[in-house]
C-alpha cells in the first residue's frame, strides 16, 4: 500500500490522509511524541496490534536484521517501560 499521492513519483511533500499512528520527535525535544487516531472506522485494539506487527517487520527490513531481533527489544520494553504515556490519545 503506497501513501504516495503524487502521480509522477517525484520527491516532494506527501499528503497523508486518515493516519492511524503518527510518531515524531519535535525539534528541540528529547522525547518522541505519539498520536493515535481512532478515526471513524470500526477499528479496535486488535487492528492496532496488527499495525505493531507490520511496524516490526518494516523495522527489521529497514535495518536488515531478523524480526526476532526487533521483537526481543519490544519484549524488553513491554515488560519494563522506559517511557511513560504523558498525554493519552
Q: What is the pLDDT of residues 71-83, one digit of tens each?
A: 999 999 888 888 7
Mean pLDDT across the stretch 5-33? 81
How far apart CA 63 and CA 38 sit, in angstroms, is: 29
Q: For residue 3, what pLDDT is reported?
A: 47
How confident is the model over 29-63, as pLDDT tens digits?
888 888 888 877 788 889 999 999 999 999 999 99
CB 66 within 8 A of CB 77: no
- Single out the residue of 25, 36, 21 nearest to residue 89, CA to CA: 36
How far apart CA 22 and CA 36 sit, in angstroms, is: 7
pLDDT category at 2 given cuts 50, 70, 90 is very low
**Helix, strand, coil percentages for the chain (3-state, nearest 5):** 35, 10, 55
pTM of the model: 0.71
Query: Please, what sign has the CA dihedral across residues 55, 61, 67, 73?
Result: negative
Q: Which domain holds residue 40?
A: 21-79
Asked if residue 65 belongs to a domain, the reply is yes
Name the domain count of the chain. Answer: 1
Asked if residue 62 belongs to a domain, the reply is yes
Asked if residue 60 belongs to a domain, the reply is yes
Asked if residue 43 belongs to a domain, the reply is yes
Amino acid at each position: 500500500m503506497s501513501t504516495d499521492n503524487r502521480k509522477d513519483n517525484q520527491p516532494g511533500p506527501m499528503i497523508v490522509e486518515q493516519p492511524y499512528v503518527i510518531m515524531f520527535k519535535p525539534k528541540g525535544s528529547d522525547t518522541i511524541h505519539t498520536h493515535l487516531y481512532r478515526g471513524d472506522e470500526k477499528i479496535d485494539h486488535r487492528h492496532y496490534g496488527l499495525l505493531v506487527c507490520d511496524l516490526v517487520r518494516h523495522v527489521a527490513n529497514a535495518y536488515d536484521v531478523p524480526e526476532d531481533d526487533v521483537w526481543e527489544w519490544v519484549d524488553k520494553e513491554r515488560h519494563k517501560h522506559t517511557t511513560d504515556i504523558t498525554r493519552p490519545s
